[in-house]
């Protein structure tokens, strides 16, 4: 009989968010009268901006006319979008990233998950703990981990981020090759400042490691002096890859469009010790395994950078960040210790009386009919914490807070 990839059997239970969905479905089936408020997975609720919708419609009409019809597009994305990204997201902030260093894709979850395959299976992986589970699970699937024991996979380097260190992890003590960083962080909502990022870039240079920088939530940073891209830091071009997404920023979770920036100055080495361009490897991988994001969606993403698009996106972000502010203040008023929510659409709270994260999840669901995400699902240092997402309608956020307060 055909054998499976044995590494899949090291994975713990199901992926976090489907597991939450399963529990909520079960609860709703048993309690059909309960009006459940979902602040678990960070999924947007507000509609796509008008500028985006009209660009998608216009592009769809082009596809209905033989004179403007397009078939396969470039795998890395159309130049019009890559140029808009390079100019607006990087060059406008002094980060030197060129259009041909941008790879447009269908999601930064996919890119964060797939990027590991261009690196050696011997690469030592370092993750912040708690962390977006995709970084860990995809490296387990690939075979870089040992077995799971006491909440951790052997061979991975966990960098705890807890209230004790302001959710900013210390540098690893052992040799690591791939360092996953997320800022603003999912799940803790912590943002790394310029000094923090300079430290990481210097560390990666010194130890010849590569930083995989997930900036999917950069648009939620409310202080403009904070870096939004690791490429705002001198030297980062030689040590980092950055992942970005239109999902949370512009409401593309269902529409799908994201991108990854890989500078041409970034090199890794082959088994002979020769330098190999990481950009060239990812280019090769992208051409082989991906056929591009659809033309109408790329036109929709381009419209995010139009004057009207920027205005509409800003208002979406303000809406969610006002939710975050209300959640943070509301929880703090109840006496709960809560963090994040200032530069990120997530609030990270300490569970009361040292409750386990999943017990708190069950309690909140059964008593308040509010769904959040148990911190333990993001890693062992997330135990005893809980995440609430600010991606919801205002009335639901207020209702959820009032139920939590009443309980
Ligand atoms: C989350 O809730 O952490 C995110 O929605 C997950 C994702 O973006 O894949």
What residue ranges define each of the domains in the chain, with the CATH number in brackets?
6-47+308-406 (3.90.1150.10), 71-306 (3.40.640.10)
Distances (CA, A) of 56 to 217, 244, 299: 23, 20, 6
Residue 110 CB–ligand 1 contact under 6 Å: no
Atom 4 of ligand 1 has which residue's CA nearest to it? 42
Ligand 1 pocket test, pick from 108, 113, 186 with the greatest ligand atom count within 8 Å of Cβ, gives 186
Query: Which atom of ligand 1 has the smallest separation from the CA of 43?
Result: 5
At residue 407, the pLDDT reads: 80
At residue 12, the pLDDT reads: 86
Residue 183 CB–ligand 1 contact under 6 Å: no
Residue 41 CB–ligand 1 contact under 6 Å: yes
At residue 14, the pLDDT reads: 73
At residue 140, the pLDDT reads: 98
Ligand 1 pocket test, pick from 41, 375, 390 with the greatest ligand atom count within 8 Å of Cβ, gives 41
In the reported structure, the alpha carbon of residue 41 is separated from the centroid of ligand 1 by a whole-number distance in angstroms of 6
Residue 42 CB–ligand 1 contact under 6 Å: yes
Low-confidence ranges of the chain (pLDDT < 50): none
In this prediction the pTM is 0.97
Residue 251 CB–ligand 1 contact under 6 Å: no
Residue 186 CB–ligand 1 contact under 6 Å: yes
């Amino acid at each position: 009989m055909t054998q499976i990839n044995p590494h899949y059997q090291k994975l713990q239970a199901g992926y976090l968010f489907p597991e939450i969905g399963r529990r909520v479905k079960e609860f709703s089936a048993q309690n059909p009268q309960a009006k459940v408020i979902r602040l678990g997975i960070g999924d947007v609720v507000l509609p796509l901006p008008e500028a985006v919708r009209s660009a998608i419609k216009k592009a769809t009409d082009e596809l209905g006319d033989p004179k403007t019809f397009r078939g396969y597009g470039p795998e890395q994305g159309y130049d019009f979008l890559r140029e808009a990204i390079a100019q607006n997201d990087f060059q406008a902030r002094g980060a030197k990233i060129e259009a041909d260093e941008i790879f447009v894709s269908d999601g930064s979850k996919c890119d964060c998950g797939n990027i590991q395959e261009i690196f050696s299976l011997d690469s030592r992986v370092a993750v912040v703990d708690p962390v977006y589970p995709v970084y860990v699970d995809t490296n387990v699937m690939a075979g870089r981990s040992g077995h799971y024991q006491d909440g951790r996979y052997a061979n991975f380097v966990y960098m705890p981020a807890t209230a004790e260190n302001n959710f900013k992890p210390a540098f690893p003590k052992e040799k690591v090759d791939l360092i996953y960083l997320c800022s603003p962080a999912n799940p803790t909502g912590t943002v790394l400042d310029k000094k923090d990022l300079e430290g990481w870039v210097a560390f990666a240079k010194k130890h010849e490691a590569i930083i995989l920088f997930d900036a999917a939530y950069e648009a939620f940073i409310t202080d403009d002096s904070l870096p939004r891209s690791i490429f705002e830091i001198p030297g980062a071009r030689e040590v980092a890859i950055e992942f970005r997404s239109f999902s949370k920023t512009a409401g593309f979770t269902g529409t799908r469009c994201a991108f990854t920036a890989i500078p041409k100055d970034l090199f890794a080495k082959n088994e002979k010790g020769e330098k190999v361009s990481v950009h060239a490897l990812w280019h090769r991988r992208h051409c082989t395994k991906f056929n591009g994001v659809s033309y109408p969606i790329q036109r929709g993403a381009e419209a995010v950078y139009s004057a009207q698009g920027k205005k509409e996106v800003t208002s979406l972000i303000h809406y969610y960040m006002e939710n975050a502010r209300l959640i943070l203040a509301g929880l703090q008023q109840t006496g709960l210790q809560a963090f994040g929510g200032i530069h990120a659409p997530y609030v990270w709270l300490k569970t009361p009386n040292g409750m386990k994260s999943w017990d708190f999840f069950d309690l909140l669901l059964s008593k308040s009919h509010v769904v959040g995400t148990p911190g333990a699902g993001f890693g062992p240092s997330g135990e005893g914490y809980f995440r609430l997402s600010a991606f919801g309608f205002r009335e639901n956020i207020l209702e959820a807070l009032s139920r939590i307060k009443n309980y």
